[in-house]
Structure 1
Amino acid sequence: MPTDFLLSAIVLTPGVVGLFLLATPREAARLQRWVSLLASLLTLAFAAVAWSRFDPANASFQLVEARTWLPSVGIGYRLGMDGISLVLVLLTALLQPIVFISSWRSIHDKVKGYVVAMLLLETGVLGAFLATDLFLFYVFWELMLVPMYFIIGVWGGERRIYAAVKFVLFTLAGSLLMLVAIIYLSFVFHSQTGTWSFAYEDMLRAAVPMGQGFWHSPQMLLFAAFALAFAIKVPIFPLHTWLPDAHTEAPTGGSIILAGVLLKLGTYGLLRFNRPLFPEAWHRATPLFLILAVIGIVYGALVAWAQKDMKKLVAYSSVTHMGFIVLGLFAGTLTSTQGALLQMVNHGLSTGALFLLVGVVYDRRHTRMIEDFGGLAAVMPLYTGAFLIATLSSIGLPGLNGFVGEFLILTGAFPRHPAVVAVAATGVVLGAVYMLSLVRRVFWNPLAIEANRSLPDLTWREALAFAPLAFFMVWIGVHPGTFLSLSEAAVRRLIGG
């Protein structure tokens, strides 16, 4: 397809198909499932084409699209892809078909609404990763909020309304301040150039004064407004309390996409916007964010260790993993930042796989309590192998993807922050303890509960959903350079390395 419209095809295909499906009768669930799956596969194909046309040596945005939208105030429809956005677009496009496959049998009620919400959510995520206009980024950022609210609130568990409302309130609290900061940043650019613009490249040239103190520093205030929105989305301790509720109550597909890509929008935003737009404020805030990252790493691991619900355990493990990513970003070296970006992908693969597999046994037993299982290795050998691969990836076994990301983060951060790395390393050990303890109790404890003796193993559909995740866990673990090379030039440009 013509390069001029490739990024628009990636962003708009899911949403357009979703709007088309609104016109189909509610009884046509089979049609809706197939069309949504095909739309997500088509989006993945477009993303693969973009990968094939991408030049890793070029640090600038590529495949750029720029059209006027509201010219009187400088708002445009601007899309662009660099190495940072490419890897996250590929992750999003890969996970979405897996979400539809995993939900094929588990979502029975209001199928049309579910697939439409998922497709609109994908458009919002992809648009946020590819937007090079700050106002357009905000539009896509807010677009994600509505479908995710309904995914949790309609198809979630018993406390789904509480979890959905909490998710919305937390997200809105940060995003409204970010909107004010975006508008103020455009005012700064206009005052300096006489031109209205929200274009990312123009905002990079807006010289925001640092000032003295926090309340008298425009740059610190703008940094804080952006950072709050992104820190809630990551989430960074202590703004994480919405996450366990959202994960626990969301359906399996919602948990996969929430952990896989929505959390990454927070760390992507910190890297894409906070670091280059407010460099002095970033430098001053680094000690605070390093401390919060380390607290999140250790706290998340300890709380995960104490969980009795498998899904909640995996949810708290995300607090630990995202803490490592924040550590890598604020350590500020090329190696640690590359490790953080790779770990965004790794977390999406391994934690997405874990949520997928927890959903498999929940569909069979309608419980996620660890004490309700035991001895599954004897009755579900394929499932056991899949869960073990995802677990070993999550804890960073050498040869799998998780090891590479954590190693780059810790080695990249060590020269500047050895004490922080020493404390963070305990999170690696604790992660291995609680994940391997989970595996032991679920799979190798005595097969004492009669209902577990007749559990069917992975179906072909469940294996099909897991297979691509396992493939990339191994590929990145064995040959990480394939993906690191995509983002290196863009990361160097962004951090000035």
Structure 2
Amino acid sequence: MKDFPFLSILTLLPLVGAAVVAFIPRGKGNLAKTIALVWSLVVLALSIGMWVAFQVDGDRFQFRESYQWIPTWDARFTFAADGIALVMLVLIAVLVPAVILASWHDVDEAKRSVPTYFALLLALECTMIGVFAAADVFLFYVFFEVMLVPMYFIIGSYGGQRRQYAAVKFFLYSLVGGLFMLAAVIGLWVVGGHTFDWANLKDASAAFETNTARWLFLGFFIAFAVKAPFFPFHTWLPDAGVAAPAPAAALLVGVLDKVGTFGILRYCLPLFPEAARWFAPVALVLGVIGIIYAALLAVGQNDLKRLVSYTSIAHFGFIGIGIFAFTTQAGTGSVLYMVNHGLATGLLFLVVGMFVARRGSALVSDFGGAGKLVPVLAGVLFFAGLASLALPGTAPFVSEFLVLIGTFTTHKVYAVIATVGIILAAAYVLWMVQRTTQGTLNPALTEVPAMHKDITLREKVVVAPLVLLLLLLGFYPKPVTDVINPAVQATMQDVGRTDPAPTAVANGKVAR
């Protein structure tokens, strides 16, 4: 199966599905939903087959395909996946069906086109898969930019209040970041031997001049920091998270943002190792600031969707310090954090969307005691919140623990400061749950008919796989870490960093 063209088919399949769904007449919304769901499940099945075919002890990059595209520039349709890309591709395949099912009743057929919305979701899936599967820098850039288009229309046409402002802000921030990367891509092509192939560029990177490599690194890093987003490039995310439909916001924070951290791991570190080491102190400072700053802002939010958006900014701070700690433990923890954050925050956004759909409001002050009316749904919200704050037994705990312990071995101060974010996470999550579902019942809720309907069968099907995965990976993360570890170790070797030797104290002396 290793010669099967998994990646090209995975990339093209959602695009074909998007075209099919887009041509369905506007009055046949149920048909469009059904086809989109089935299509996404086919992509999920294919991604599972790719996971099974992946050889943990095999080559670093597998499923490589390369097709001629623009010979003059040596730009090719080249796809390949290492363990880091593989786990993100499977995450996409898991989340998209859940998002489609969660969006079943989100579009008002009288006002907007249902087929267009679900076609946009499939088109978004195509671009997300493409950006993680690309092994050609120019192809990566194309997917990186085209990915903005479906999300822009999802937010701008199907979002809530201030959707147009949020869509434009999201697009402009990402576009400006993309311009920095375009300049760096052109520079990389010039100094890298007139090629865009990742493997060839990596071989050529050893001859890059120091200042040139640092400027190229900075161009890529700014683009990825905006996409992630890292502090202080984060301000677009709360607005986009609030305006986007909740299921689409689950994809926004669960997958799209990971393109930034993935890009740092795939491009910034291996292609510019000296620049990465030189810039690491700044990146660590930005990561720690993001953890504390975003957590403090999350505590004071009255809008559920904005609160969840700020929690994501804090989580990306943890991922950032794990990447730039340059240890295998922290690096593996960061990649695992990318997966677990996608599951946990994706679940949290989906459940918040279910509450908002019932209440007709995302304001915490409009709830209060909702658990008395919808106890099961409130329980799922509580679980999603606990997973988001990395409660032991849930998947995010494993990744957060690896990041902190791996960072502590090389940067104790940053690791200690970052732990403050854990305390703040408990504050904003538990306070949110308490104000929303616990305490005295808000009398206004009894007058809302939808608030008397607990979780439905469709909603159970949406949340159940995510809950199970969060529990399974919380107790047994080995299947995922086994896939991630070789790719992370290879990346650390590219950077020229090795794990510090373990220390032990015996008879008052430090032994190594």
Residues 10-37 of structure 1: per-residue CA shift (max 9 Å, x gap): 1111111111222221112111111111
Report the equivalent of 2:485. Answer: 488
Report the equivalent of 2:445. Answer: 451
Quote the Cα distance in structure 2 between the aligned partners of 1:76 and 1:424.
42
Q: Is the 8 A contact 2:117 2:154 kept in 1?
A: yes
2:463 equivalent among 451, 463, 466: 466
1:173 equivalent among 173, 176, 194: 176
Q: TM-score, normalised by structure 2?
A: 0.93
Report the equivalent of 2:102. Answer: 102
Check if 1:328 corresponds to 2:325: no
Residues 160-197 of structure 1: per-residue CA shift (max 9 Å, x gap): 1110000111001111121221122121122xxxxx32
The secondary structure found in structure 2 opposite 1:170 is helix
Q: Is the 8 A contact 1:414 1:421 kept in 2?
A: yes
Residues 456-480 of structure 1: per-residue CA shift (max 9 Å, x gap): 1111111110011101100110001
- Give how far 1:486 is off: 0.7
Quote the Cα distance in structure 1 between the aligned partners of 2:196 and 2:81.
17
- Give how far 1:210 is off: 6.3
The secondary structure found in structure 2 opposite 1:69 is strand
4+ residue runs of structure 1 moved beyond 6 angstroms? none
- Give how far 1:208 is off: 6.3
The secondary structure found in structure 2 opposite 1:276 is helix
Letter matched to residue 233 of structure 1 = K
Report the equivalent of 1:145. Answer: 148
Report the equivalent of 1:197. Answer: 195
- Give how far 1:2 is off: 8.2
Report the equivalent of 1:318. Answer: 312
Letter matched to residue 103 of structure 1 = S
Report the equivalent of 2:24. Answer: 24
The secondary structure found in structure 1 opposite 2:106 is coil
Q: Is the 8 A contact 1:376 1:452 kept in 2?
A: no
Letter matched to residue 466 of structure 2 = L
Q: Is the 8 A contact 1:88 1:345 kept in 2?
A: yes
Quote the Cα distance in structure 2 between the aligned partners of 1:3 and 1:164.
40
The secondary structure found in structure 1 opposite 2:79 is strand
Residues 288-329 of structure 1: per-residue CA shift (max 9 Å, x gap): 010000000000100000001111111100110011000100
Report the equivalent of 1:337. Answer: 331
Q: Is the 8 A contact 1:59 1:489 kept in 2?
A: no
The secondary structure found in structure 2 opposite 1:57 is coil
Letter matched to residue 472 of structure 2 = W
Q: Is the 8 A contact 2:2 2:62 kept in 1?
A: no
- Give how far 1:237 is off: 0.4
Q: Is the 8 A contact 2:228 2:258 kept in 1?
A: yes
Letter matched to residue 413 of structure 2 = A
Quote the Cα distance in structure 2 between the aligned partners of 1:90 and 1:452.
41
The secondary structure found in structure 2 opposite 1:483 is helix
- Can you give the 5+ residue segments of structure 2 that lack an aligned partner in the other structure? 499-512
- Give how far 1:211 is off: 5.2
Letter matched to residue 203 of structure 1 = L
Report the equivalent of 2:501. Answer: none
Quote the Cα distance in structure 2 between the aligned partners of 1:24 and 1:347.
35
Report the equivalent of 2:368. Answer: 374
Report the equivalent of 1:193. Answer: none
Letter matched to residue 206 of structure 1 = A
Alignment of 1:261-272 (within 5 A): 261-272=255-266
**Number of residue pairs matched by the alignment:** 488
Report the equivalent of 2:79. Answer: 79
Quote the Cα distance in structure 1 between the aligned partners of 2:15 and 2:462.
22
Letter matched to residue 387 of structure 1 = L
Q: Is the 8 A contact 2:303 2:364 kept in 1?
A: yes
Q: Percent identity?
A: 41
The secondary structure found in structure 1 opposite 2:204 is coil
Check if 1:475 corresponds to 2:478: no
Q: Is the 8 A contact 1:209 1:219 kept in 2?
A: no
Quote the Cα distance in structure 1 between the aligned partners of 2:207 and 2:168.
37
Quote the Cα distance in structure 2 between the aligned partners of 1:59 and 1:172.
35
The secondary structure found in structure 1 opposite 2:426 is helix
Alignment of 1:248-263 (within 5 A): 248-263=242-257
Report the equivalent of 1:183. Answer: 186
Quote the Cα distance in structure 1 between the aligned partners of 2:383 and 2:29.
33
The secondary structure found in structure 2 opposite 1:240 is coil
- Give how far 1:225 is off: 0.4
- Can you give the 5+ residue segments of structure 1 that lack an aligned partner in the other structure? 191-195
Alignment of 1:273-288 (within 5 A): 273-288=267-282
Letter matched to residue 91 of structure 2 = L
Quote the Cα distance in structure 1 between the aligned partners of 2:212 and 2:474.
43
1:350 equivalent among 344, 353, 358: 344
Quote the Cα distance in structure 2 between the aligned partners of 1:65 and 1:207.
23
Quote the Cα distance in structure 1 between the aligned partners of 2:141 and 2:209.
27
Quote the Cα distance in structure 2 between the aligned partners of 1:207 and 1:142.
25
- Give how far 1:247 is off: 0.2
Report the equivalent of 1:227. Answer: 221
